[in-house]
Amino acid sequence: MPPLPSNRTTWHSLLNPLAGRRPGTLLAPAGAPVMGLCPAVALYAVVPLQAVANLVLDDLAAFAQDQGWIVPSGCAVADTGSLAQGLDGRRGWTRVRALATGSLIRGVVVPSLTHIGYRAVDADREQAWLLKQRLFVVATDPADMNLRT
């Protein structure tokens, strides 16, 4: 049975998040099978209770799969608590930032940008830092973007 079309929406932090990445790496030897680009992403969310972390991360993972992205082992991270808590106290976000400085992932998928910073100034700062690392940020629920513009 073919997969059902996704009704998930997205907001990309870049118009083309993969443009300009590692020129020439998409070239395969003559006669090689054609394979599409499959970037790896990290998943991150802040959840009120640890018991719902897997539900939220599973939804983010399904979104990533719909996009053709993979989530490497250990790259699905959730912090427990309030969205309003400071970023310095979030162990999971510290892990995502460490992943961002390496070469394993090319992007971060979050439910909304409030998960990387509750205040707009904090979210903008973290998003700018991720972009400096040449990573894209995708919010699966763009509804909060209308409030910030």
The residues near 83 (Cβ < 8 Å, ≥ 6 apart) are 46, 114, 115, 118
pLDDT at 1: 44
Each of the 149 residues of the chain gets a pLDDT tens digit; together they read 444 444 444 444 433 444 444 443 334 444 444 445 678 999 999 999 999 999 999 999 999 999 999 999 999 999 999 988 888 889 999 999 999 998 899 999 999 988 998 888 998 999 999 999 999 999 998 675 444 43
What backbone torsions phi and psi does residue 79 show, to the nearest 5 degrees? -105, 145
In Å, what is the CA distance from 79 to each residue of 3, 68, 133?
Answer: 31, 25, 22
- Tell me the pairing of strands 136-139 and 11-12: antiparallel
The answer to the question of residue 73 being in a domain is yes
* Domain span including residue 71: 38-148
CA–CA gap between residue 17 and residue 9 (Å, rounded): 16
Count of domains observed in the chain: 1
The answer to the question of residue 19 being in a domain is no
pLDDT at 87: 83
CA–CA gap between residue 120 and residue 131 (Å, rounded): 16
The answer to the question of residue 114 being in a domain is yes
**Coil/strand/helix, residue 95:** helix
The answer to the question of residue 116 being in a domain is yes
The answer to the question of residue 26 being in a domain is no
The answer to the question of residue 1 being in a domain is no
On whether the pTM is more than 0.95, the answer is no
pLDDT at 144: 55
CATH classification at residue 58: 3.40.50.1390
The answer to the question of residue 75 being in a domain is yes
The answer to the question of residue 67 being in a domain is yes
